[in-house]
Structure 1
Amino acid sequence: MPPDYQSADMLAENAQFTPFVKALRGLDAPFEAYVRALAPPPSCIVSDWCNTWTAGVARSLGIPRLFFHGPSCFYSLCDLNAVVYGLHEQIAAAAAADDDDDKEEAHVVPGMPVRVTVTKGTAPGFYNAPGCEALRDEAIEVMLAADGVVVNTFLDLEGQFVACYEAALGKPVWTVGPLCLHNRDDEAMASCGGSAAAVDRRAITAWLDGQVPGSVVLVSFGTVLRKLPKHLFEVGHGLEESGKPFLWVVKEAEASRPEFLNERLAVDVLGVGVPIGVTAPVLLFGDEAMRFGRADVARAVSALMDGGEEAEERRRKAKEYGEKARRAMAEGGSSHESVTQLIASFIHSGGDELVT
């Protein structure tokens, strides 16, 4: 790996992702030395999919470890069940026996409280790209060995999936989100290693104040995976052709992480979204096959903004979930209480902090 590739944002191609994740394992010795030097010692270590190496450090030090998952609990449950019930192997066997390469068979994800079907292209899994199977198996093993799981969601959004996920894991699941409601100012982002917005917020606010309430489309694809310029080109033209005013969040190194199970959650379960028509996920930096065009973007925006009673119902639900999210994060809310219980569960005499 090049010496300056210190975060996923710096990666330039899909082939660098696996070496990047494996290179993180070199942090185990300095991290263990750092934790041993802490006084008082930490009560718990919290780590995610890309840092499975922390399991060995936690075990060596005798410190409890929590697994943090950023995606929805719906997605996490699908991912876990796909591994536990051997869904990936079933899909691979079915694909090998099917002579029609253009038609992907639908498979039901077992153990879900609602019916969820996936194809080979939309099967759940954080490490589903070819060559990442060992990383996936290791991540699942480390997750199952953790003392509990922390998820960026809230009960009023995914209560049934949280309960099923907790039962499937056989260990506590703490819902602490949505975390996006915290650290939203530029100073907080910079202190966490992020970068301040390269725009004048006052200019944006002034422009928004001049728009009809509820008329502006916000477009944001996330913070990790990158989109190719041709994808951005189609998205931009599609937004323009929709005829709707929009704000588009674009990083210097534009990125996204489309999960079509996330689409299923938004569209079919929560009823707040419309599908754009993509049938397979894009890899880390996008792939060469164009999976959508400007017409798909324009159609989706039109359905969201001009879809009559259905569109109004989607927007009503979205607003309702937004209000519930704020209540969950407020003092006394479900996520606030969950964080309080999490801390109380792991603080012990001589240790009063979590290390993430």
Structure 2
Amino acid sequence: ISIVPYQFPCEEAGVPDGCENLDMIPSLGTAASFFRAANPLQQPVENLLEELTPPPSCIISDMGLPYTSYITKNYNIPRISFVGVSCFYLFCMSNTRIHNVMEGITNESENFVAPGIPDEIETTIAKTGITIYEGMKQVSHAMFEAEKEAYGMIMNSFEELEPAYAGGYKKMRNNKVWCFGPLSFTNKDHLDKAERGKRASIDLFHLKCWIDCQKPGTIIYACLGSICNLTQEHIKKKPFIWVIREENQLEALEKWVKQAGFEERMNARGLLIRVGTPPEAICAGVPMVTWPLFGDQFLDESLVVEILKVGVKVGVESPVKWGEEEEIGVQVKKKDIEMAIESLMDETSESEEKRKRVREVAEMAKRAVDKGGSSHSNVTLLIEDIMGKINF
């Protein structure tokens, strides 16, 4: 594997110097400038391809790099897009567009039942992530057009997690969808995993000792993703570990906890609050309180709570607009958080069923990435597919 570094053109795009990741920009309101900053990389990448021998068989790129679509056209090679959302979300969104749902909707907060899917899921246009703030419209349109033209897609999911939706979306995309996930399970090296992300501000030994002092099944692990901006939230009565980005308004809170064996240590005795991709949370084998903020997260909440039945909603009804977090303020009350946590961590048969179910799904996830599993096999199938195009 060869890695070729390029200078990220921050200054040209009006992004502060050094902001090479979305979680480093000062405000999500400047996200459009960040995404546009990647476009000037098209020419350097094309120059690199000219020098490669043998020439590339395909390009695998993140959905946030739509310029790679133009490169693949120029070189007549397939583009495989990596999309960090669920098959359920993409299948719902595709059917929403196919059935022209927006034509019959009077406002973005009006409820409708997602069409063309096997489960009855009620949502709104606002919760689908279709409506976004003005600055991102052009960027989102470029991404959408590139995704339509992509030869295929790689998903951080596994077929056993969402069989009807993985199968349905695969059929919709001419069988060119490969689920490789959960990607976090493919790496077994604790030392390597400990180096991911930013360095935690809390001492590892202190953290592990604190965990071991708590009663089993009482710890709450709260992680709301790498790009969320919160104002002020409260959790009481339950011991918790809060994983959050360090921000000026939240300096008292500890930032990222990404240490060797941490989630495994939490397994079967914690509660995971997360709004990211469901497979990542399911790997921990603990039920979830869902706290969606924007984008795909509201529909993924429906997947976790209504379809997989391994979580409880905290009660968020409106998405946060990027860059307007302070204006919108707190959307979840302390009482709502407490009620959701209590309902999931109590000793009722319903809560125990959720805990049992998520443990079963976590085992499915492990088998999926093991040799012979669905995700492991999909890697081979993708390679065979691309080789078939070359030989043809």
* AA partner of residue 227 (structure 1): N
Distance 1:39 1:161, change over 3 A: same
- Secondary structure of the residue aligned to 1:71 is coil
Q: How many residues align?
A: 330
CA contact 2:29–2:322 (8 Å) conserved in 1: no
| 1:20-54 residue CA offsets vs partner (Å, 9 max, x unmatched) | 11221111001111222223333221122211110
Residue of 298, 302, 309 corresponding to 2:349: 309
CA contact 1:52–1:138 (8 Å) conserved in 2: yes
- Show the 5 A alignment for 1:105-116: 105-116=110-121
- CA shift, 1:199, in A, is 3.6
CA contact 1:113–1:164 (8 Å) conserved in 2: no
Distance 1:326 1:202, change over 3 A: farther
- Show the 5 A alignment for 1:219-238: 219-223=222-226, 225-228=227-230, 230=231, 233-234=232-233, 237-238=234-235
Aligned to 2:67: 53
- Decide which moves more: 115-124 or 25-34: 115-124
- Show the 5 A alignment for 1:272-311: 272-284=310-322, 287=325, 288-289=327-328, 290-306=330-346, 308-311=348-351
- Decide which moves more: 309-318 or 114-123: 114-123
- Secondary structure of the residue aligned to 2:59 is strand
| 1:159-201 residue CA offsets vs partner (Å, 9 max, x unmatched) | 11011111222241100001122347454575x7x33444443
- Decide which moves more: 59-68 or 177-186: 177-186
Residue of 32, 40, 47 corresponding to 1:33: 47
CA contact 1:149–1:173 (8 Å) conserved in 2: yes
User: Using the alignment, how far apart are the partners of 1:305 and 1:36 within structure 2?
Assistant: 57
Residue of 142, 150, 155 corresponding to 1:138: 142
Does the alignment pair 1:153 with 2:157?
yes
Aligned to 2:122: 117
TM-score normalised by L of structure 1 = 0.84
CA contact 2:30–2:323 (8 Å) conserved in 1: no
User: Using the alignment, how far apart are the partners of 2:25 and 2:101 within structure 1?
Assistant: 31
Residue of 131, 156, 169 corresponding to 1:165: 169
CA contact 2:39–2:67 (8 Å) conserved in 1: yes
User: Using the alignment, how far apart are the partners of 2:164 and 2:303 within structure 1?
Assistant: 13
User: Using the alignment, how far apart are the partners of 1:72 and 1:219 within structure 2?
Assistant: 21
User: Using the alignment, how far apart are the partners of 2:388 and 2:95 within structure 1?
Assistant: 34
* AA partner of residue 246 (structure 1): F
Distance 1:118 1:131, change over 3 A: farther
CA contact 1:46–1:65 (8 Å) conserved in 2: yes
Distance 1:136 1:342, change over 3 A: same
Aligned to 1:99: none
User: Using the alignment, how far apart are the partners of 2:377 and 2:199 within structure 1?
Assistant: 30
Distance 1:302 1:295, change over 3 A: same
Does the alignment pair 1:245 with 2:239?
yes
% identical aligned pairs = 33
Aligned to 1:212: 215
- Show the 5 A alignment for 1:62-101: 62-91=76-105, 94-95=106-107
| 1:287-341 residue CA offsets vs partner (Å, 9 max, x unmatched) | 2222112221111111111161111111111111111111111111111111121
CA contact 1:43–1:64 (8 Å) conserved in 2: yes
TM-score normalised by L of structure 2 = 0.77
Aligned to 1:179: 183
User: Using the alignment, how far apart are the partners of 2:80 and 2:30 within structure 1?
Assistant: 27
Structure number with higher relative contact order (C-alpha < 8 Å, ≥ 6 residues apart): 1
User: Using the alignment, how far apart are the partners of 1:39 and 1:210 within structure 2?
Assistant: 57
RMSD, matched Cα = 2.6
- CA shift, 1:203, in A, is 3.3
* AA partner of residue 335 (structure 2): A
- Secondary structure of the residue aligned to 1:157 is coil
